[in-house]
Amino acid sequence: MLKKFFRSSGPLLVLSFAILGCNSTPRSPGTVVFASGADLESGNPLVTIHPLSKQIQRHALFTTLARYDSLLQPEPYLARSWEWSANRRELTFHLVPGVAWHDGEPTTARDVAFTLMAAREQSTGYPRAGDLASLDTVIVVDDTTAILRFLSPVASFPLVLCELPPVPAHLLADVPLGQLRQHGFNFSPVGNGPFRFAERVPGQRWRFVRNDAFPPSLGGPPLIDELVIAVVDEPTTKLAGLASGDLDFAGIAPSMAALADEDPAIVVRDYSVLFSVGLVLNTHAPPFDDVLVRRAVDLALDRDRIVDAALAGFGIPAAGPVPLANPYALQIQPVRDPVGADSLLSEAGWIRNAEGFREKDGTVFTVEMLTVGSGDLAIEQLVQSDLRARGLQVQIRSMEMGAFLTRARADVKDFDIIITGIPGDVSLAHLAGMYDSRQSGGSLDYSDFHTRELDRLFDETRGVSGDRLPQLWGEVQNVLAREVPMVWIYHARGVQGVAARMQGVIMDLRGELVSVARWHSADIAR
């Protein structure tokens, strides 16, 4: 009954056209369609923050020097081996020979040098530039040997090298770093990974095809012919597409997980992800330039209700930016205190008017909350309800991804609130990049929040290691908890619907696409 209902649904005809094009014949068994709630941001790893775009880059389109194993430890990939100097200030990489860019040019150590040196420059806007702050230079010894030289001894392997793949220097080295975000490469990328870029239809799909020349030493060519990333933002349309067979992979709204699990053609996967959701408050303008108001918002949210009602329990209420599973997280639970929130607003000079709304000095603030959400905007509406109960009026505005990022990244912050997800990792420099424009170059920096103490701590994150690291994590989190430039809501869990025919699928903290080159089924096995 479930499948019959969805197959009769109108959105599927539109979905099929969006995936294949209006004049296309039915897709071949070797084509796998993966639904994305928003268009991919870019094909260029140096300027990308969108989580799925980053996964496409490091698992399909490019090759990273190292990659994470199942325990999130680095293992060789494009670099077949590496070794440290005795003083741990030099890290020498030996690349797998014979790896070609998709235009036929060889991948060399020069590509490694160009990418890492570009990533550390603020004008590039690479989100994790802080992770490379201690990198002094990259020495190209020969085509397959690169030496990373650091300003001071490095205690452990830089995990950013598992995230940032080298890009082709022969195509990008002559582009001014400040112009990389606007370059045509972003939407017609040339990689060296198991899949080649084939096509992009803005707002509809990206198509990647098997790279038959991908070296056996790196895993060999993928088992599927092509991977299509289809833009499908409506939760009901995603579920309908899975049930009909038009989609092979689609994120499922947690509230629909039980319904999807009833269909034998769909396997529901629940897995840990490094992704947290929160409210970024504009601390540069009223009303959120007042820390008392920011703290009131933090106390007003009923996170348990949000997780239960909007996520069907697929999430963990958050008191800060670092998931509790991270060994450096402060082990504190979020607190809901409506009476405390009202007290803070009163202390800030806000009173309730006759209509029950808060006003200060005769001004009633109606704040706008920007989102890239789709569907019923359940999380946004629950936040809106919690704040309305405290007398704060919030209007929800849903935006397209590109317009949203433009507003969020602007040097002059002109939003009130944005609700957004932040991809996380084990990097304190990455945490700094959420807040500090000096470290992120403006690419991930949504709040541009500064205090003298926080700036000092963030400055210390550059190249920090050893016994100081856990202490520094705690100090940074304590300041953020006190100043509240972001109000964290929950740490996410992934919920993905997968066509039952698909095999070789692994989804874990590394992402949904970690095993994409090994996906297969009986009807597409090679």
User: What local confidence, expressed as pLDDT, does residue 375 receive?
Assistant: 64
Query: Do 380 and 453 have their domain in common?
Result: yes
Residue 440 in any domain: the answer is yes
Query: Do 282 and 258 have their domain in common?
Result: no
Task: Tell me the pLDDT tens digit for each residue of 358-414.
Answer: 998 888 888 999 998 666 799 999 999 999 999 999 999 999 888 888 888 888 889
Highest mean pLDDT among 217-226, 234-243, 356-365, 477-486: 217-226
Query: Do 55 and 89 have their domain in common?
Result: no
What CA–CA distance (Å, rounded) separates 521 from 526? 9
Residue 526 in any domain: the answer is no
Query: Do 375 and 396 have their domain in common?
Result: yes
Query: Do 502 and 450 have their domain in common?
Result: no
- In the structure, what pLDDT confidence band is assigned to residue 443 with cuts at 50, 70 and 90? very low
Task: Tell me the pLDDT tens digit for each residue of 78-129.
Answer: 999 999 999 999 999 999 999 999 999 999 999 999 999 999 998 998 988 8
**Is the pLDDT reported for residue 444 higher than 50?**
no
Query: Do 41 and 163 have their domain in common?
Result: no
For residue 32, give its domain range.
Answer: 2-61+178-272+494-518
- In the structure, what pLDDT confidence band is assigned to residue 1 with cuts at 50, 70 and 90? very low
Q: What residues contact 480, with CB distance under 8 A and at least 6 apart?
A: 320, 321, 435, 454, 486
Size (the chain), residues: 526
Domain boundary among 149, 175, 201: 175
Report whether 266 contacts 497 (CB < 8 A): yes
Domain boundary among 151, 175, 199: 175
User: What local confidence, expressed as pLDDT, does residue 46 receive?
Assistant: 96
Q: What is the CATH number of the domain that holds 168?
A: 3.90.76.10
User: What local confidence, expressed as pLDDT, does residue 209 receive?
Assistant: 98
Residue 482 in any domain: the answer is yes
**Is the pLDDT reported for residue 325 higher than 50?**
yes
Residue 358 in any domain: the answer is yes
User: What local confidence, expressed as pLDDT, does residue 17 receive?
Assistant: 44
Q: What is the CATH number of the domain that holds 478?
A: 3.10.105.10
Residue 116 in any domain: the answer is yes
Residue 317 in any domain: the answer is yes
Mean pLDDT over the full length of the chain: 87
**Is the pLDDT reported for residue 327 higher than 80?**
no
Query: Do 88 and 19 have their domain in common?
Result: no
What does the pLDDT average to over 284-305? 96
Residue 524 in any domain: the answer is no
Query: Do 317 and 447 have their domain in common?
Result: yes
User: What local confidence, expressed as pLDDT, does residue 28 receive?
Assistant: 81
Burial class (CB in 10 A: 0-12, 13-18, 19+), 131: buried
Query: Do 199 and 129 have their domain in common?
Result: no
- In the structure, what pLDDT confidence band is assigned to residue 523 with cuts at 50, 70 and 90? low
User: What local confidence, expressed as pLDDT, does residue 483 receive?
Assistant: 93
User: What local confidence, expressed as pLDDT, does residue 342 receive?
Assistant: 96
Query: Do 479 and 500 have their domain in common?
Result: no
The count of structural domains within the chain is 3
β-strand partners of 75: 67
Q: pLDDT exceeding 90 applies to what percent of the chain?
A: 60
Task: Tell me the pLDDT tens digit for each residue of 31-70.
Answer: 999 999 889 999 999 999 888 999 999 999 999 999 999 8
pTM comes to 0.72
DSSP 420-439: EEEE--S-HHHHHHHH-HHH
Task: Tell me the pLDDT tens digit for each residue of 230-270.
Answer: 999 888 899 999 999 999 999 988 888 888 989 999 999 98
Domain boundary among 175, 195, 228: 175
Residue 370 in any domain: the answer is yes
